Chain A
Amino acid sequence: MSLYRDACVVLRVQKLGEADRIITLLSQRHGKIRGVAKGVRRTSSRFGARLEPFGHVDVQLYTGRTLDVITQVDTLDAFGVGLVEDYPRYTAACAVLETADRLTAEEGEPVLRLYLLVVGALRALADRQRDASLVLDAFLLRAMGFAGWAPAVTECARCGEPGPHQSFSVQAGGSVCPRCRPAGCSSPSRETLVLLDALTHGDWAEVDRTQQASRREASGLVAALLQWHLERQLRSLPLVERRTSAGAVDRLAAQVREVLAERQS
Chain B
Amino acid sequence: MYEGPVQDLIDELGRLPGVGPKSAQRIAFHLLAAEPADISRLQEVLQKVKEGVVFCQVCGNVSEEQTCRICRDARRDPTVVCVVEEPKDVVAVEKTREFKGRYHVLGGALDPLSGIGPDQLRIRELLGRIGSDDIKEIILATDPNTEGEATATYLVRMLRDFPGLTVTRLASGLPMGGDLEFADELTLGRALSGRRTV
Contacts and interface: CB of A to CB of B under 8 A. Distances in A.
Residue of A48, A80, A86, A253 ringed by the most chain B CB atoms within 10 A: A253
A75 B184 CA distance: 8
B34 interface: no
Contact of A259 (B111, B131, B149, B178): B131
Nearest to A95: B112
24 contacts: A17-B18, A43-B175, A44-B177, A50-B186, A52-B146, A52-B186, A54-B146, A75-B186, A80-B186, A81-B189, A83-B150, A87-B150, A91-B112, A235-B114, A239-B115, A248-B119, A249-B118, A249-B119, A249-B123, A249-B127, A249-B158, A253-B158, A260-B131, A263-B163
Given A50-B184, A90-B112, A252-B127, 8 more contacts: A47-B184, A52-B145, A85-B153, A97-B113, A239-B117, A256-B128, A257-B163, A263-B164
A236 B131 contact: no
A205 B39 CA distance: 72
Given A17-B18, A240-B112, A260 B164 contact: yes
Contact of A236 (B112, B146, B149, B162): B112
A235 B119 contact: no
A231 interface: no
B169 to A, nearest CB: 12
B18 A84 contact: no
Interface residues of B, number: 41
Interface in A75-117: 75, 78, 80-81, 83-87, 90-91, 94-95, 97-98
Nearest to B145: A52
A130 interface: no
Contact of B119 (A43, A52, A247): A247
B185 interface: yes
Interface string B38-80: 0000000000000000000000000000000000000000000
Contacts, number: 112
A247 B158 CA distance: 12
B185 A78 contact: yes
A48 B149 contact: no
A264 B154 contact: no
Interface of B: 18, 110-115, 117-119, 123-124, 127-128, 130-131, 144-146, 149-150, 153-154, 157-159, 161-165, 175, 177-178, 182-187, 189
A255 B131 contact: yes
B142 to A, nearest CB: 11
A161 B157 CA distance: 49
A259 to B, nearest CB: 5
B154 A260 contact: no
Contact of A48 (B110, B117, B184): B184
B154 A87 contact: yes
A236 B159 CA distance: 24
A49 B165 contact: no
B153 A90 contact: yes
> Closest 9 A-B residue pairs measured CB to CB?
A48-B184, A236-B112, A235-B115, A94-B112, A84-B149, A256-B131, A49-B186, A239-B112, A239-B117
Contacts of B144: 49
Contacts of A87: 110, 150, 153-154, 157
A261 interface: yes
B146 A84 contact: yes
Nearest to A50: B184
Residue of A46, A50, A91, A239 ringed by the most chain B CB atoms within 10 A: A239
A12 interface: yes
Given A49-B186, A81-B186, A260 B165 contact: yes
Contacts of A94: 111-113
B127 to A, nearest CB: 5
Interface in A160-184: none
A31 interface: no
A250 B124 CA distance: 9
A12 B113 contact: yes
A253 B187 contact: no
B163 A261 contact: yes
A18 to B, nearest CB: 6
A75 B165 CA distance: 37
